[in-house]
């Protein structure tokens, strides 16, 4: 039996990388999905391949109005919202000494406020649907300090705090909130912001001696989105090849 049969999911940042892998897997497992992303071209191309079980909505996670629009369009197209994956994020690594307020604000607005607005916008319609699952994507950099990633790492620590507290407040409403902490995953975002030599150096630190695949993170999201995790609340799953062990 398909693990997300009759579920409707919103996936932010769903047009590439980990989000795209989640979108493909969720549809394969029976879900109807909304790919919510700023990248119109990639988003529309993806839903063409996924077919009638998917919808693309242009979305800025920093905008409360944009969140209202995504939730409304999802409900209009598919009738409800059962799952939210807060996957969209920004990663522009710089050390503390080179971080200014603008860079800090960008990371906090996208990674932290964007996650908050997503949960805040989706939970009322999830209650109407009888409950649901929220999956927030943090990072291995949100589990320990990383030199050269001041704004990014601190923002991902905050995502963990949001998730823990929201899981307690929403538990009696039948909404489960859990977090995934990916390690070094082979995505466009990683390659765009780091040199090959730097990535190779990081890879050598991973006990598995390789980068993770987006599909491996998607499998963790599938578990947390499905009824198989019905008693899992406030949990954190690392997908890191042993890096966080």
Q: Which CATH number belongs to the domain containing residue 36 in this structure?
A: 3.40.50.720
With cut-offs at 50, 70 and 90, classify the pLDDT of residue 91: very high
Range 71-80 contact pairs with CB under 8 angstroms and sequence separation of 24 or more = 71/10, 71/121, 71/122, 71/125, 73/34, 74/8, 74/10, 74/34, 75/125, 77/32, 77/34, 78/8, 78/32, 78/34, 79/8, 80/8, 80/125, 80/128, 80/129
On whether residue 76 sits in a domain, the answer given is yes
Torsion over CA: 73, 79, 85, 86 (sign): positive
On whether residue 169 sits in a domain, the answer given is yes
On whether residue 103 sits in a domain, the answer given is yes
**pLDDT tens, position by position, 94-112:** 999 999 999 999 999 999 9
d(Cα 245, Cα 229) in Å, to the nearest integer?
22
On whether residue 31 sits in a domain, the answer given is yes
d(Cα 226, Cα 224) in Å, to the nearest integer?
6
CB neighbourhood size of 230 (10 A): 11
Residue numbers of the domain that contains 85: 8-235
**pLDDT tens, position by position, 149-192:** 999 999 999 999 999 999 999 999 999 999 999 999 999 877 77
Question: Looking up tokens 């990633």, which residue turns up?
Answer: 149
Mean of pLDDT over the chain = 97
What is the predicted pLDDT for the residue at 184? 92
d(Cα 45, Cα 227) in Å, to the nearest integer?
30
On whether residue 194 sits in a domain, the answer given is yes
* 25 and 78 Cβ atoms separated by less than 8 Å: no
Helix (H), strand (E) at residue 164 = helix 150-170
On whether residue 243 sits in a domain, the answer given is no
Share of the chain above pLDDT 90, in %: 91
- Tell me how many domains the chain contains: 1
d(Cα 58, Cα 219) in Å, to the nearest integer?
25
pLDDT at 226 exceeding the cut of 80: yes
**pLDDT tens, position by position, 196-221:** 888 888 888 899 999 999 999 999 99
On whether residue 12 sits in a domain, the answer given is yes
Provide the 8-state DSSP code for 185. Answer: B
pTM above 0.85, yes or no: yes
Q: Is 152 a catalytic residue?
A: yes
Q: Which of 91, 108, 146, 152 is catalytic?
A: 152
* 134 and 176 Cβ atoms separated by less than 8 Å: yes
On whether residue 213 sits in a domain, the answer given is yes
């Amino acid at each position: 039996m398909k693990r997300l049969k009759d579920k409707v999911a919103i996936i932010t940042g769903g047009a590439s990388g980990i989000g795209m892998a989640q979108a493909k897997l969720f549809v394969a497992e029976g879900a109807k999905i909304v790919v919510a992303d700023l990248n119109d071209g990639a988003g529309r191309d993806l839903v063409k391949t996924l077919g009638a079980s998917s919808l693309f909505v242009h979305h800025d996670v920093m905008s409360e109005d944009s969140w209202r629009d995504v939730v409304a369009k999802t409900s209009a197209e598919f009738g409800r919202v059962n799952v939210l994956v807060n996957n969209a994020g920004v990663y522009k690594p710089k050390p503390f000494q080179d971080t200014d307020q603008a860079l800090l604000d960008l990371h906090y607005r996208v990674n932290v406020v964007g996650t908050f607005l997503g949960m805040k916008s989706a939970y009322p319609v999830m209650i109407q649907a009888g409950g649901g699952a929220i999956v927030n994507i943090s990072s291995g950099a949100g589990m320990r300090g990383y030199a050269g990633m001041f704004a990014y790492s601190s923002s991902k620590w905050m995502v963990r705090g949001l998730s823990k507290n929201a899981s307690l407040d929403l538990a009696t409403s039948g909404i489960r909130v859990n977090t995934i902490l990916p390690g070094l995953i082979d995505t466009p975002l990683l390659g765009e912001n780091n040199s090959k030599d730097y990535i190779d150096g990081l890879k050598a630190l991973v006990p598995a001696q390789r980068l993770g695949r987006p599909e491996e993170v998607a499998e963790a999201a599938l578990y947390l989105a499905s009824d198989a995790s019905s008693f899992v609340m406030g949990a954190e799953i690392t997908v890191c090849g042993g890096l966080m062990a």
